[in-house]
């Protein structure tokens, strides 16, 4: 499930070496030490979880077909290979927000809060950060942002928040916590929305999206949008 081939190989190669070089004559275990090529002696042998070592095959139809073609039993009824997960933008990033860098009242994220005295600026907010488009300077420890958005009338499934955050972030929908994460990321990613907040994102609804981001160290930046996950192409499903 690594996002690039180099990370995938860094994770898988030690296990590959373990299988090739171990002196143990037991089935593959999911509890092993790649430094001495021994299992940990916990009897975790041949459990279905080791199928995770082959998960990359599900994302590469050609590789799947190569190995599946060697099967002589020709069983049927297997689930189809899933399509490639892609993000479709509904409410883009880079939009105008009301914002402040001074600690606001506790109800700052609710729909009825008066933010008329806050500043306005175009996201992303921050300083220099890799793969981040900065439009408005933000170089203090914290920033609080809010804006009203209208959910598209068309029915959308698998809604996700598109977030770039550096560092800690919380996102609210009409005052309900929708997403939070510590640390930083290096590119925009889609994130799942907490159920109570997701229930508010009905087609045609007008909601208040509010964001708090805290700077810890290094570069800093924040921007948030909304979209959905789609799967394609069809012939890969």
pLDDT at site 97: 98
Complete DSSP assignment for 53-72: GGGGGGG-HHHHHHHHTT-S
How long, in residues, is the chain? Answer: 237
Residue 55's pLDDT is 75
Task: Quote the pLDDT of residue 53.
Answer: 72
β-pair partners for 148: 208
Write down the pLDDT at residue 44: 67
Containing H/E element for 227? strand 221-232
pTM score: 0.66
CA 218 to mean position of chain CA atoms: 21
Taking residue 202's Cβ as centre, other Cβ atoms within 10 Å add up to 11
Of 30, 20, 24, nearest to 50 (Cα)?
30
What phi, psi does 168 have (nearest 5°)?
Answer: -60, 145
Task: Choose among 223, 136, 138, 212: nearest CA to 185.
Answer: 223
Closest CA to 187 of 219, 229, 210: 219
According to the 3-state scheme, what is the secondary structure of 190-230?
A: EECCCHHHHCCCCCCCEEEEEEEEECCCCCCEEEEEEEEEE
Domains delineated in the chain: 5-78 (no CATH), 86-232 (2.60.120.260)
Q: Which residues pair with 170 in a beta bridge?
A: 180, 212
pLDDT of 45 reads: 67
State the pLDDT at residue 81: 64
Please, what are the averages of pLDDT over each run of 10 residues along the chain (237 residues)?
82 81 72 64 68 74 82 74 78 96 97 97 88 92 97 84 95 98 91 95 95 94 93 52
For residue 233, give the 3-state DSSP assignment.
Answer: coil
Which residue in this structure is represented by tokens 């170089």? 139
For residue 236, what pLDDT is reported? 40
């Amino acid at each position: 499930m690594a996002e690039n081939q180099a990370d995938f190989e860094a994770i898988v190669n030690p296990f590959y070496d373990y299988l090739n070089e171990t002196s143990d004559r037991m089935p593959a275990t999911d509890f092993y030490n790649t430094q001495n090529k021994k299992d940990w002696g916990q009897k975790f042998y041949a459990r279905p979880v080791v199928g995770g070592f082959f998960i990359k095959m599900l994302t590469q139809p050609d590789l799947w077909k190569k190995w599946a073609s060697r099967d002589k039993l020709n069983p049927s009824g297997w689930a189809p290979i899933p399509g490639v997960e892609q993000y479709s933008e509904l409410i883009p990033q880079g939009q105008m927000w009301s914002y402040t860098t001074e600690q606001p009242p506790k109800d700052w994220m609710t729909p009825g809060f008066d933010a008329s005295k806050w500043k306005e600026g175009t996201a992303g907010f921050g300083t220099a950060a890799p793969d981040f488009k900065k439009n408005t300077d933000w170089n203090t420890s914290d920033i609080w942002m809010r804006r009203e958005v209208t959910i598209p009338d068309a029915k959308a499934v698998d809604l996700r928040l598109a977030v770039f955050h550096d560092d800690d972030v919380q996102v609210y929908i009409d005052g309900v916590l929708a997403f939070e994460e510590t640390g930083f990321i290096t590119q925009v990613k889609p994130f799942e929305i907490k159920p109570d907040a997701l229930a508010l994102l009905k087609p045609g609804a007008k909601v208040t999206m509010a964001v708090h981001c805290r700077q810890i160290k290094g570069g800093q930046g924040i921007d948030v949008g909304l979209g959905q996950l789609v799967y394609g192409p069809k012939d890969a499903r």
